[in-house]
Amino acid sequence: MKSVSRLLASLTVLAAAVHAQSVKVSHADIPAPPIAARAYVLFDASSGQSLSSLAASDRFEPASLTKLMTAYLTFKALKEKKIALDKAVTVSERAWKAEGSRMFIDPKQSPTVENLIRGMIVQSGNDASIALAEAVAGSEEVFALAMNREAQALGLKNTKFMNATGLPHPEHYSTADDLAQLAHALIRDFPQELAYYREKEFTWNKITQPNRNRLLWLDATVDGLKTGHTEAAGYCLVATAKRGDADKSRRLISVLLGTSSDVARMQESQKLLNYGYQFFDAQRLYKKNDPVATLEIFKGSQNTVKLGFERDMWLTLPKDKFANLKATLSTHQPMMAPLTRGQKAGTLKLTQNDKLIAELPVVALEDVPVAGVLGRGWDAIRLLFK
């Protein structure tokens, strides 16, 4: 079979209005196995596609899955050097008396930021989460505001945080889809910190607690991420696995909300991950910054502009559906300057036997500023004959 890159080497360019704003993919349904959960999403991290879902946009109590955002902001603060891993943290009475799962810190101790990260991730400690929130933002209330700002920045449209722990609150909610996006952002933006999620146990105060993610013992390809449970939320799990050879490895993320037990969330997550790897494949269509097309542009400092993608562009499809793909680039015509690098300039539509498979946003790979008066005047004349 021809490679996907060769199949897409011939590109049709159309002059058309563009409406698509994000990656949109449709494919022939391969039914997922029955999943015993109130909501779930199976997400391919390489292509950014959802492969299967149930009630993905319905709001649920996220329980300790909230700590994915607490971790994200903690890692961000470390990256920005607002805190340091070896910084000793004062334990407040509020953190000490936190309800629910705990790391068992107390005001007589001064755990480091890294101790607290392990206590939050491995032990799911609410006390550790509050202590980190206070270390980063001064108080849990201010930290919750930062959580919501970050949620908006990440495009989590149906998520609201009221605390750093996931303890129940009527205005504290998220969705399976948003949690998949959050997990993806965490892995993408902080790949080195993913190592914390692989740790199977952590000891603090002479108390050793195991990681509640049982898949770490069951499946060697699973390296995260987070469990959650309250009476209202049920048993929840965001899991991620990476399988395949180094140059062809794929990462999938599964989000399960509202299963009936600790064992059920493990079994159903494993079932969903296996389904994704067994029936789907991801292939790279275009490399980052490689031109998809070079098109004519008017009233600019140059006469052409290169269009392409700012990241490697992957496509996930059922394993037997990659043959006979056809690419068509739709752009606004005539294309006019100014155009800035990264600005959306068109949509690449992938079809197969006249059926739409995917719509991928294409951007300018270079800046094209406005030309001078003479250049603009000459192009105005040229446009009269277009």
Active-site residue set: 64, 67, 124
Q: Give the whole-angstrom CA distance, residue 175 versus residue 39.
A: 8
Q: How far apart are the first and last CA of the chain?
A: 41
Tokens 């539509």 belong to 349
3-state SS record for 9-57:
CCEEEEECCCCCCCCEECCCCCCCCCCCCCEEEEEECCCCEEEEEECCC
From CA 137, how far away is CA 359, in angstroms rounded?
40
Q: CB burial class (10 A; 0-12, 13-18, 19+) of residue 289?
A: middle
Residue pair 194/187 in contact (Cβ under 8 Å)? The answer is yes
Helical H runs in 122-261?
Answer: 126-137, 140-153, 176-189, 195-198, 215-218
Q: Is the dihedral of CA 151, 157, 160, 165 positive or negative?
A: negative
In 3D space, the residue among 132, 160, 181 whose CA is nearest the CA of residue 61 turns out to be 160
